[in-house]
Amino acid sequence: MAEKLNPRGPERMDLGFATLASLFANAYRGKGQSTSKTADFMPDFMGNRKKNLAERIRQTGKAMAVSLARNKKKKGS
């Protein structure tokens, strides 16, 4: 448990380098560009971030479909 809160070794180095990369990306970002997060630069060896993104896209699509169906029913009533 404590290892997740305070990583050591390679995980600690990944976190440090990701923090630096995020700092530089935010310092040199253009106008209108969104800010970067440290997590954006963390390695994702297991592909969890992509899975989470795909799941979020599916959930958003379902929510939009439900919302559109409700609006269509309201207009048709």
Query: Hey, what long-range contacts does 12-19 have (CB within 8 A, 24 or more apart)?
Result: 14/42, 14/43, 15/42, 17/41, 18/42
pLDDT in tens, 1-57: 455 566 677 778 888 899 999 999 889 888 888 888 888 888 877 776 766 767 767
Q: Residue 20's pLDDT is what?
A: 93
Alpha carbons 34 and 40: distance in angstroms, whole number: 12
- Indicate the pTM of the whole model: 0.52
Q: Residue 11's pLDDT is what?
A: 77
Q: Residue 5's pLDDT is what?
A: 63
